[in-house]
Amino acid sequence: MKRIGVFICHCGINIAGTVDVKRVAEALKDYPGVVLATDYMYMCSDPGQSLIRQSIKEQNLEGVVVAACSPAMHEVTFRKASAQAGLNPYQTEIANIREQVSWVHQDDKEAATRKAIEHIKTIVEKVKYNESLIPLSLSLVKKALVIGGGIAGLQAAIDIATAGYPVVLVERSDRLGGHVGQLSGVYVNFNAARDLLQSKLQAVQANPRIQVFLETEVEELGGYVGNFTAKLKHRGSDGSEPTFSEHTFGAVIVATGHSLRPLSKFGEYGGGRYPDIIDALTFERMLAPDGPTGGEIRRPSDGQVPRQVVFVQCAGSRDPEHHMPYCSKICCMYTAKQAALYRQRVPDGQAYVFYIDIRSQGRDYEEFVQSAMTQHDVLYVRGKVARLYEEDGKVIAWGADTLTGKPVEVQADLAVLATAVMPAEGAVELAQKLRIATDEHGFFSEAHPKLRPVESLTAGIFLAGTAQAPKDIPETVAQASAAAAKVLSLFSQRELVAEPTIAYVDEELCSGCGLCIPACPYQARTMHPWKHKAIVNEALCQGCGACVVACPNKACKLRNLTPSHVLAMMDAYLAEV
């Protein structure tokens, strides 16, 4: 019989305060197969781990049960300790007597102690049947797909290609550059956006490792980290049928950018029916030297230079009742820039900015907004604009000055709305194709808001730029480089390593009924083309066990959790203490 050691952790008083750990150790001592049952204050500490290592060597242990916290916390820790002592790590298991015992039975110490004993005996039985497993190694295609040719996609492609790996960059429209390509000057130094973009475009064009596909979208994405298969759809020229191409990639960066809340959604501001109520991107084009007016500020209705301009911040942002609840983050800064540029170009003009708060977090940002107020004499009014309409050739803004508590009416020539930043059109559909998550607004969700901000929840798919949330150019570029760094650390491995505790099929028992295929939530099951037996894609399988339940012949099994394991565990759990 396997020689098994049981290590019971006090977790300070987290476990020992409720569970009588000495009695648990005593009860396990004579359990069949157990050659050692001991307790310690903190098993995860260095001395705790060293106790496990030492016991493995001295007692020739062939299996280890650590009765401690959830395996999500320290399974890796204890398996590593076992491996250091020469024991196959898959011979070490956790019995969770903290979250599942001591924390939930604090008012009944007797019952908690008995439950802890049952728990540990169950896991001892499991370890008796455990096989020594070797982690899986998966091949890795060292080529990246970048979706979106804006500043985020360009930066990510440049970083990956510079490190020596090939990149395919796909862009839906007929040009690279995204929104940055539509801007005039950028805050806080008024540098021309064109120049910023040009340096990136040249780097992309100069790098032979970057292949650019314009007018191309991702039609399908299959496979898994290291081995994605992508079907790309290339729009046909002059309305001809689209063509498709297939590629394999090791990693994907999603940098699809954003759209703006359309004026038609703003009934309170005319719903798009007034020519001189425009959104800030339209005004930005007016400021840009390559724009429709050649950089001259002229209002759309009659081409006159507007003498009074009202800028409306938070148009559709921070308004959960009617529009989007979130802050679009970039508007305070670009509105200050646009108002300052307007004042520079129309020195006798008056600019009003209606704002709720000024959010100017960034180096030199606050100084920049202050300079718009002081150097450029932009008049900031703290309050929302309730209504905008046109009458007698004027744009009338009704608002409030909340600092004086008075209603305000401005008769202007032009109104510029800082409309809310929204996910790009088709973002949710793309998320479904890529099997990544979006938030309730359609922005792609990161794996962890603090610790994994550039990863999606799907391994091998990373996020960059405003596709994930509103952000400005420096943040977008930083995130794009971070996503590229994640891709590079993936590509720096020789091969991918995966957990072996996944499903397998006993071909003798499999009748080829195929019930496991729809049961699998990870698309890891397929039918062998001519054997007519179910097969498991080891890279996609997450070991959830749905196929095991679905299989009528018990041909599907999970490694180290076979029916033999489970029946022995049940026997142990249901036995009288």
Q: Which residues bind other proteins (CB under 8 A)?
A: 266-268, 270-271, 273, 322, 387, 389-392, 396
Shortest Å, Cβ 313 to other proteins: 19
Nearer to other proteins by C-beta: 51 or 386? 386
Nearer to other proteins by C-beta: 86 or 271? 271
DSSP 492-509: TSSSEEE-S-SEEE-TTT
Shortest Å, Cβ 420 to other proteins: 16
Check: CB of residue 517 under 8 Å from CB of residue 534: yes
Maximum separation of any 2 CA atoms in the chain, in Å: 96
- Three-state DSSP at 410 gives strand
Shortest Å, Cβ 401 to other proteins: 20
Shortest Å, Cβ 284 to other proteins: 25
Q: Quick check: bond before 64 cis, omega within 30?
A: no
Shortest Å, Cβ 262 to other proteins: 12
Nearer to other proteins by C-beta: 175 or 387? 387
Check: CB of residue 425 under 8 Å from CB of residue 259: yes
Nearer to other proteins by C-beta: 326 or 389? 389
Nearer to other proteins by C-beta: 267 or 563? 267
Cβ neighbors of 574 (< 8 A, separation 6 or more) are none
Whose structure tokens read 């202007």?
A: 412
Nearer to other proteins by C-beta: 238 or 321? 321
194 class by beta-carbon count within 10 Å (0-12 exposed, 13-18 middle, 19+ buried): middle
* Helix, strand, coil % in the chain, rounded to nearest 5: 35, 25, 40
Check: CB of residue 59 under 8 Å from CB of residue 82: no
Shortest Å, Cβ 456 to other proteins: 35
Nearest to 152 by CA among 487, 525, 483, 412: 483
User: How far, in Å, CA of 62 to CA of 5, rounded?
Assistant: 8
Question: Which pair of structure tokens corresponds to residue 516?
Answer: 């496991």
Shortest Å, Cβ 384 to other proteins: 14
Shortest Å, Cβ 131 to other proteins: 58
Nearer to other proteins by C-beta: 419 or 479? 419
Nearer to other proteins by C-beta: 12 or 271? 271
Whose structure tokens read 């604009």?
A: 385
User: How far, in Å, CA of 431 to CA of 247, rounded?
Assistant: 19
Shortest Å, Cβ 268 to other proteins: 5
In the chain the first and final C-alpha atoms are separated, in Å, by: 22
Nearer to other proteins by C-beta: 314 or 431? 314
Shortest Å, Cβ 208 to other proteins: 53
Nearer to other proteins by C-beta: 266 or 443? 266
Single-letter code of the amino acid located at 212: V
Single-letter code of the amino acid located at 350: Q
Torsion of CA 346, 352, 358, 363, to 10 degrees: 10
Per-residue burial over 288-309, b = 16 or more CB atoms within 10 Å of its CB, e = otherwise: beebeeeeebebeeeeeebebb
